[in-house]
Amino acid sequence: SDDMIVTGGENVYLNVVGDAVRAISGVSDAYVLGVASPEWGTEIVAVVVSGRPEAALDAAVRDTLAPHEIPKRWVKLDRLPMLDNHKHDRAALQRVAELG
């Protein structure tokens, strides 16, 4: 997604975060989105297909992303929900991120 969100008063382009997350070794698919947060306004959530622990995923993006761009939460799934046109099912991913 190329949406821009504001988190903690900082502008973040979700496509930048998504590119960094998808580049992590051991991540086979990922989708990054913003979820409403009382603390941050909007928080960044990364929904990923990966066997790696959250701490390793977090550490992997620290070199490439600014502190405010690092996902606040990681949600791991066996596969990401897709639409018939082979695109990520954004509505389903939003629900997963909000519940996750």
Rounded to an integer, the average pLDDT of 62-84 is: 97
pLDDT, one tens digit per residue, over 88-99 is 999 999 999 998
Token representation of residue 52: 């790696």
Q: Provide the pLDDT confidence category of residue 100 given band limits of 50, 70 and 90.
A: confident
- Residue 67 per-residue DSSP state: G
| CB neighbours of residue 94 within 10 Å | 16
Rounded to an integer, the average pLDDT of 57-86 is: 97
- What pLDDT was estimated at residue 40? 86
- What pLDDT was estimated at residue 1? 45
DSSP 16-65: HHHHHHHTSTTEEEEEEEEEEETTTEEEEEEEEEESS-HHHHHHHHTTTS
Share of the chain above pLDDT 70, in %: 98
- What is the set of domains in the chain, with CATH numbers? 4-99 (3.30.300.30)
- Residue carrying the six token digits 């909007």: 42
